[in-house]
Structure 1
């Protein structure tokens, strides 16, 4: 369809569909965005770009507010909930949906202004390169600044193990943050992340003052109609250098009593969370203890589902599950208290949730494998679940493995 056809579209909600062979959502976002906006690429949903967006700050208890501002279609607000409870959302004024090779443009602007906006966007799309250039790979420097070095982190692990032995909790997730000076395009970080992780929950949020780029492997809560789902991940091994070595590491992971017991504990916690808002007898584990592979690690993954009870919905499920037990430990309240004492600084965006708030459906992934860019600093945070049988050095190495892909993306996307 030629962009001139946009002029004939009816107001007050003009729309235009453009078939574009090989359309890349990142390239579309790069071509059109000139202010706060977002790009979401969640499996099973069309890629969604929000443009010219208004930033909404939610209250400390955001769930009722999210429900109130939710809507269906391309204008559903998207954003993040910080681990400590608040959130920031972007309500799109203009939006772009990517259906494989088709770009669908929408505008909330009325009359001639909206039609002219679509025409300009379409002209730009038809004339631009629809493949975003990937930055070359670069090696991660060895002298990066982190909130905890190996001795500090392993001391923290030993301290948490003493609390576990005393019965304070069963597990606690201890994380560490790495900060890197960054000069460059934050969108390049996201492009690099997704080039290796296309099956994950991808997101790029630009608030003007902060950018968030992530490829999370873990769905916190999704809801479609009355069906609510959470997908806990717990248990980690590195990727092998060959398919045969991958298989060896995966078998070791599945046969490790510590990893299996930790995973079972967190699946039970997820069942309990979903059960708080689900119809009695509807909670089920539809997939249990399967290995999923990502660029630098492989994990044990399960899926827990339930049917929302009468008067309950996906926002109640989000409240019940947030923050995820896989990033806190169990029991949640005491584990979070111990984490706060050990980490000494708020987590903020890390280990919260990012997603899109629809009226009839919602989808929120956990903000892990995520880069936050603010004031010329790119931050990457990763944690490991500490249990009674944890080896402190091995847990530190796990945080390094989990952070590696994001750190490499930051270094590669930055200007030399």
Structure 2
């Protein structure tokens, strides 16, 4: 593997050419932080292409086998995803709904080439980095039609959602749980779609810190996730659950009012704190005793489509805990389950009427330094070009005092960018 650094006169054009160039490969992971920088992530744009080696979950001992795969490829970038239904391996749970997307529970690959692109420079690793630069610079950025032909349907209609909502609130009042995340699927069958153009449109409409285009074979993940699930930096684990959503205002004044309402909402604050407690509990499984800290609580983060309430929880990793085990010990993200976690997941399987699959799982990478960074798979289109199935989910937290009308509308708000992309594609 040879590494080459080069100066960029126009990093944006080079990045778009590189993404277009990447489409020729069977495996692609493109991550774009869209200029959102924090103290925990240091990648602007990352591109991994080609398959030097790959890992596919076979439905048993996925996290143990994934760690073996990582150990067998030291010094490599290893991007990939973990599906929500891996919960069935971790706990005594099952998923009753069909896997229409036909995605596996986990897929990771060791790339043939990687590119780290900053504002002024790019670092390319591969067998012949000079040839890669030449190929990318010669690539023409295609302006192709978005090409969505099909009809978007709801797996859960409004009355079914309200009925499930009422049943889950009944469980809360009985004391079975005190919060649960109810999600619904929007889908289209036997459709055609230009996944690269769909991703570009999504990233234009909703640029987020964990934007991702992921391809393996004819399966695609097009993500505009704003939420970090878990990162490892040295011995530090960090999770940043989102609980609390408000729309953006039409004017600066209205926007400030909506932000203030979110920051002071007793319901949103209590939801967030519940999940903070759950995540703190999850992290203790991997932590040195006494190191779990909720450092930044209830911070407002503003994105193109919404304001979000985000908290940050950290710990120091105990000796002898592998990277894959630290993920297993907190998986899936508590912000997407509810609390207590196992009871909430049992009820999710009972009252949701679709399989989550990749949705509300995790998407990201292991780095050559032994670190990792994974987002929660939300605000994300899942597309299988082989069977023409397109899917995305949206959801929200149910508590004792939650209003079904407001939560239903929040689901639609969270899906706003995805609806907008598909609408533009149908007419574009």
TM-score range, shorter chain: 0.7 to 0.9
Report deviation, 1:398.
Answer: 0.8
Task: Provide the residue aligned with 1:371 in structure 2.
Answer: 381
Tell me: CA distance 1:106–1:397, structure 2 relative to 1, closer, same or farther (3 Å).
Answer: same
Once residues 134 and 99 of structure 1 are traced to their aligned partners in structure 2, the CA distance between those partners, rounded to angstroms, is 26
Task: Provide the residue aligned with 2:38 in structure 1.
Answer: none
Task: Provide the residue aligned with 1:144 in structure 2.
Answer: 152
1:245 aligns with 2:254: yes
1:141-184 deviations in whole A, cap 9, x for unaligned? 9x730111211111110110011111111111111111146534
Q: Is the 8 A contact 2:155 2:353 kept in 1?
A: no
Once residues 282 and 194 of structure 1 are traced to their aligned partners in structure 2, the CA distance between those partners, rounded to angstroms, is 37
Task: Provide the residue aligned with 1:403 in structure 2.
Answer: 415
Structure 2 residue matching 1:190: 3-state secondary structure: helix
Once residues 74 and 422 of structure 2 are traced to their aligned partners in structure 1, the CA distance between those partners, rounded to angstroms, is 34
Once residues 134 and 357 of structure 1 are traced to their aligned partners in structure 2, the CA distance between those partners, rounded to angstroms, is 33
Task: Provide the residue aligned with 2:112 in structure 1.
Answer: 93
Structure 2 unaligned segments of length 5 or more: list them: 34-40, 87-104
1:308-328 deviations in whole A, cap 9, x for unaligned? 112224433211211011100
Task: Provide the residue aligned with 2:132 in structure 1.
Answer: 121
Tell me: CA distance 1:289–1:123, structure 2 relative to 1, closer, same or farther (3 Å).
Answer: same
Report deviation, 1:31.
Answer: 2.0
Report deviation, 1:291.
Answer: 1.1
Once residues 346 and 328 of structure 1 are traced to their aligned partners in structure 2, the CA distance between those partners, rounded to angstroms, is 14
TM-score (norm 2): 0.85
Task: Provide the residue aligned with 2:43 in structure 1.
Answer: 45
TM-score (norm 1): 0.87
Q: Is the 8 A contact 1:171 1:387 kept in 2?
A: yes
Structure 2 residue matching 1:187: 3-state secondary structure: helix
Task: Provide the residue aligned with 2:9 in structure 1.
Answer: 21
Report deviation, 1:196.
Answer: 4.3
Q: Is the 8 A contact 1:38 1:90 kept in 2?
A: no
Once residues 68 and 410 of structure 1 are traced to their aligned partners in structure 2, the CA distance between those partners, rounded to angstroms, is 40
1:362 aligns with 2:362: no
Tell me: CA distance 1:229–1:72, structure 2 relative to 1, closer, same or farther (3 Å).
Answer: farther
**Higher mean C-alpha deviation, range 63-72 or range 34-43:** 63-72
Task: Provide the residue aligned with 2:297 in structure 1.
Answer: 288
Once residues 341 and 377 of structure 1 are traced to their aligned partners in structure 2, the CA distance between those partners, rounded to angstroms, is 24
1:261-291 deviations in whole A, cap 9, x for unaligned? 1111111111111122111111111111011
Q: Is the 8 A contact 1:278 1:309 kept in 2?
A: yes
1:332-362 deviations in whole A, cap 9, x for unaligned? 1111111111113321000000010235201
Aligned residues: 392
Task: Provide the residue aligned with 2:400 in structure 1.
Answer: 388
Report deviation, 1:413.
Answer: 4.5
Report deviation, 1:209.
Answer: 2.3
Tell me: CA distance 1:373–1:232, structure 2 relative to 1, closer, same or farther (3 Å).
Answer: same
Once residues 397 and 255 of structure 2 are traced to their aligned partners in structure 1, the CA distance between those partners, rounded to angstroms, is 22
Structure 1 unaligned segments of length 5 or more: list them: 1-12, 108-113
Structure 1 residue matching 2:85: 3-state secondary structure: coil
1:161 aligns with 2:162: no
1:198-245 deviations in whole A, cap 9, x for unaligned? 441121111122100102111111001101100011011111112211
Report deviation, 1:414.
Answer: 5.7
Structure 2 residue matching 1:321: 3-state secondary structure: coil
Once residues 409 and 208 of structure 1 are traced to their aligned partners in structure 2, the CA distance between those partners, rounded to angstroms, is 23
Tell me: CA distance 1:132–1:284, structure 2 relative to 1, closer, same or farther (3 Å).
Answer: farther
1:185-334 equivalences under 5 Å are 185-334=194-343
Report deviation, 1:63.
Answer: 2.2
Tell me: CA distance 1:369–1:135, structure 2 relative to 1, closer, same or farther (3 Å).
Answer: farther
Task: Provide the residue aligned with 1:67 in structure 2.
Answer: 67
Once residues 177 and 29 of structure 1 are traced to their aligned partners in structure 2, the CA distance between those partners, rounded to angstroms, is 29
Task: Provide the residue aligned with 2:56 in structure 1.
Answer: 57
Once residues 168 and 377 of structure 1 are traced to their aligned partners in structure 2, the CA distance between those partners, rounded to angstroms, is 35
Once residues 345 and 237 of structure 2 are traced to their aligned partners in structure 1, the CA distance between those partners, rounded to angstroms, is 25
What is the aligned-residue RMSD (CA, Å)? 2.5
